[in-house]
Amino acid sequence: MSTPSKTLGDYVLGLADDALVSAQRMGWWISRAPQLEEDLALANIGLDQLGQARTLLSYAGQLEGDGRTEDDLAYLRDEREFRNVWLVERAQSDFGVTMARLLLFAAWQSELYAALASCPDPTLAGVAGKAVKEVAYHLDHAARWVVRLGDGTEESHQRMQAALDAEWPYLDELFRPVEGAVVDPASLHPLVLARIEPVVAEATLEVPQVAPARGGGRAGLHTEELGYLLAEMQHLHRSHPGATW
């Protein structure tokens, strides 16, 4: 039977996993960015996301009531127990793809956190109130880059359009119904599009006309790529059960 705090816990866990998995992917860029200045920028974004993940994981553990810590939840769950969306979990090594993804993700997070900041749950409202400023910067950063790559050279225009096309199918999952949702996901759809579309237009790119991806992350159904991400992220922690770090 699902109690209110269990469903709220699942909802919070989903948001936490989005941030955690996204931070894990962002961390890859440090030492690989196109320019030194961008190494610092992407690290800042990853650190913000990781910070959000840690607070949200702790809160999810608290709601669950079994004494699980942020690390228990991050390191000791398997693929099927992760609740993040597909948008954030797939491997990426192309700067255009990372910026396209960040544009979509941060646009959604901006609207989500803005709504959550005035929700009746004080903890969630507090986290969201802080995070909303962070993701506003992420969105701005992604938008500046999407515009520069879209309206840069011929090559960058093509690559940016391809990146947007590749990420766009994963946008839809963000707006599907979720049990325990504090903010109705569907209500964010027009707001998020209103943030993304002007950027796409300024970048001289086309809004992709592509079918949505299957998704299912909120129910623990993932792409095969998440398993590798978790194997890498968790192996050391799991190799030393009960150890302190």
**Count of C-beta atoms within a 10 Å radius of residue 105:** 26
In the chain, what is the greatest distance between 2 CA atoms, to the nearest angstrom?
56
Q: How far apart are CA 161 and CA 34, in angstroms?
A: 19
The nearest distance, CB 185 to another protein, in angstroms, is: 26
Give whichever of 190 and 198 is closer to another protein, judged by the CB atom. 198
Of 7, 12, 9, which is closest to residue 116 (Cα–Cα)? 12
**18-37 positions binding another protein, by CB under 8 A:** 20, 23-24, 27-28, 30-37
Cβ neighbours for 32, distance < 8 A, ≥ 6 positions apart: 39, 93
Q: How far apart are CA 114 and CA 131, in angstroms?
A: 9
The stretch near another protein (CB under 8 A) out of 38-46, 79-87, 107-115, 164-172 is: 38-46
**87-146 positions binding another protein, by CB under 8 A:** 93, 95-96, 140-141, 144
232 is an interface residue for another protein by CB under 8 A:
yes
The two tokens of residue 32 are 């690989």
The nearest distance, CB 20 to another protein, in angstroms, is: 8
Interface mask (CB under 8 A) for another protein, residues 169-208, using x and -?
Answer: ----------------------------------------
Scan for tokens 């769950």, then name that residue: 77
Run of H or E residues at 191: helix 185-202
Contact set with another protein (CB under 8 A):
20, 23-24, 27-28, 30-41, 43-44, 46-47, 50-51, 53-54, 57, 70-71, 74-75, 93, 95-96, 140-141, 144, 147-149, 151-153, 155-156, 159, 232-233, 235-237, 240, 242-245
